[in-house]
Structure 1
């Protein structure tokens, strides 16, 4: 027996009526963050609709950022989005830790590599220059949010990999090497997650994510760090302040 009724005569498509119903349950707190959502089958039975209609409703909820999928586990209610003000040159980790937010950093891998053409171009140095590379997984409230890989000049930070990298690298470089971030060149785009990235973030391979790349410069304008992040799309919310110059 259907538990809910959809109005087939209404102007609003049936799948949108289902989306509205689920959205209301999320927004009023009936479905809490990370709570499981109904499967296609149970949703179809509950509203007496086809599984295709139920699937469209769930996919629309994903598109709104109100739900997320975990590989082979199902769909869940998205937690509150993480706001990252990219105009602020303090790193996300530094700001979150300063505000007392729950942020866990897991060191996934680290090592020293020669700069390839892409990294050499980003950091404005010769190819094959030794770089320290470290990859970290960031969790908020125990939930994987984004994966980050950073590259820094090994000669400038020789013993960096011996430090505890489960903290803000911005603070670490400032505290032990006296190098502060002053400016950054930031690029944001959508891309498919590679299988290894998706696995660490609990998603299916090639799931769409939001990629952020930044070249960080010191007070002299010298690039000293290149960072690459891949975020779960339903968690990310980037903001910035625009400065409007005078028209010449």
Structure 2
């Protein structure tokens, strides 16, 4: 019985995957509404949604709340060993980057941020919240936490640009040693809402802790990437 019940599901997955792989459903294109797809495959909405969920887990399609289902574009190749920033990394791969600032303010540092930046209790930090797009698709929610001692007045600048370039041009600060921690996670509401996905959706969390050219801990980033938007690719030199 179980095999019989899975046949419609497998058939839907196979049909959609074949059309995606052969370009009949182009990358970035929107799929028909769920009602039309369920009619096309003569199946229930429940079975259809299970099939779409499996294709999403494989990274072939993605869903945005209130917009529907789309064919996934190519993943961004992310090499943490390269000295680059989001806009340069995306543009170098022939894609179009964009950044939107959600908020920037001075706040009390949480216990986690105090530990990451080795700050004493009751310290203040600049928090900059941004969401980033590749080819107009929302792919990344990020929280930046800056030690205000090194960046006085930074929230008065245009924060849609690269912070890396802003640090260098206005404060004479360049990145030195950097530490990365990467773990799969589920999106919390503060990250899911700007990305227009359901809370609990799969994501890759990258915590980046940055020192400057003098070895000082200057900031840290908490990045939440859509799981199907990024591919970590590292080549270690001999």
Write the distance in 1 (CA, Å) between the matches of 2:90 and 2:63: 25
Out of 164, 171, 179, which is 1:185 matched to? 179
- Alpha-carbon distance in structure 1 between the residues aligned to 2:203 and 2:133: 16
1:47 matched residue in structure 2: 41
Alignment of 1:212-227 (within 5 A): 212-227=206-221
The equivalent residue for 1:144 is: 138
Find out whether 1:70 has 2:80 as its counterpart.
no
Shift of 1:31: 1.1
Using structure 2 for the length normalisation, give the TM-score: 0.88
Query: In the TM superposition, what is the alpha-carbon distance from 1:40 to its structure 2 partner?
Result: 4.8
Deviation for aligned residue 1:42: 3.6
Shift of 1:215: 0.2
Displacement after TM superposition at 1:20 (Å) = 2.3
Aligned residues: 235
Q: Report the Cα distance in structure 1 between the residues aligned to 2:160 and 2:32, rounded to whole angstroms.
A: 36
Indicate conservation of the 8 Å contact 1:87/1:239, yes or no: no
Matched residue, 1:91: 85
Match of residue 25 from structure 2: 31
Scaled by the length of structure 1, what TM-score is found?
0.84
Mind listing any 5+ residue stretches in structure 2 that lack a counterpart?
none
Residue 126 (structure 1) aligns with:
120
Shift of 1:192: 1.9
3-state SS, counterpart of residue 219 of structure 2:
strand
Contact 2:87 2:98 in 1 (8 A): no
Q: Is contact 1:193–1:206 with CA below 8 Å preserved after alignment?
A: yes
Measured after TM superposition, the shift of residue 178 of structure 1 is 1.4
Q: Distance in 1 between matches of 2:65 and 2:89?
A: 31
Q: Does residue 206 of structure 2 align to residue 196 of structure 1?
A: no
